[in-house]
Amino acid sequence: MGSRFLTIVAMLWALATGMAFAEEFKPAVVYDLGSKFDKSFNEGVWNGVQKFSEETGIKVAEFQIVNETQREQAMRRLVERGATMVIAVGFSQADALDAVAADYPDRQFAIIDVSWLDRPNLRQYVFKEHEGSYLVGIAAALASKTGKVGFVGGMDIPLIRKFHCGYLQGARSANADIEVLQAMTGTTPAAWNDPTKASELARSQMDRGADVVYHAAGRSGIGVIQAAADAGMLAIGVDSNQNGLAPGFVLTSMLKRVDVATYQTLSDGLAGTFSSGVHSLGLAEDGVDWAQDEHNAGLLTDELTAAVEEAKDAIIAGNIVVHDYMSDSNCPD
């Protein structure tokens, strides 16, 4: 009887402690430039936020920046208003987050697409985008009827060339003679938010014979998808599942599971298990993948699906090693 009583007391104490901790946990997110509902990178983070809030009932404060100067100011304001955790979306926020994390060592911080910072209160996430891009490269090559496929990136930076390099390798593994056209939307952060320019680049590639175009361009990529649909060609989406944006014209989407990283960070913060350091998410960690659903089912042949899944298993097993442009900028031809 005494043992049972002590067990009940311990359970009640744990419950009360957990509830108190939950009341003290006040997370916040600062989205990157572009709409929170960009159907891509930012929206993937928002999906992770929504899942966490729906499961826990905890509201996550959100801020959408509209220019570069707002980053650090927004983070400081959130912390000053009581945020105990701040998640920053995108590498462009690195300097601002690093400065704020240094000034508030008792708060928790996390950032996506950064690995070079070093703070004991800061978690960083990077993704193996080259692995997921390899898979959709195979899909593109096998779906192409012209032997030419395209790639439209957003801001011309090593991270986006990492997508292109993986895509190129995957396409050539399926068809050694495939031609892969490549273009970038711009060299400034505005490149993530220019669907018109991305559409023009995609149309140019299609005019040159590309019948499948993969984009890694944030909100700009919506222009690529629309251009492909208008021309009766195929696009490949990125970050979030974009198959439903133009059903029948989006071959697949390379999923970059920023929602998983966001949800994981928020959950660890709530549970008191938050840790710093760099987390790298690839196929084996469910950090990247390719999308299959009712919107693209009619586009995926058994041969194509089998080839992509076989490559996925081989990458996870270590039998295929996809070149990482971030480690070596000499992308294999």
Average of per-residue pLDDT across 238-265: 96
pLDDT above 70 for 12: no
75 alpha carbon, distance to own chain's centre? 21
Q: Order of strands across the sheet with 27-31?
A: 61-64, 27-31, 85-89, 108-112, 122-127, 277-281
Write the pLDDT tens digit of every residue in 211-235: 999 999 999 999 999 999 999 999 9
Specify the amino acid at residue 197.
K
pLDDT above 80 for 180: yes
Q: How far apart, in Å, do the first and last CA atoms of the chain sit?
A: 73
Q: Determine the Cα–Cα distance for residues 80 and 59; give it in Å rounded to an integer.
A: 17
Specify the amino acid at residue 36.
K
Q: What domains sit in the chain, N to C, each tagged with a CATH number?
A: 25-127+259-281 (3.40.50.2300), 129-256+301-328 (3.40.50.2300)
Residue 152: strand pairing partners:
183, 215
pLDDT above 90 for 23: no
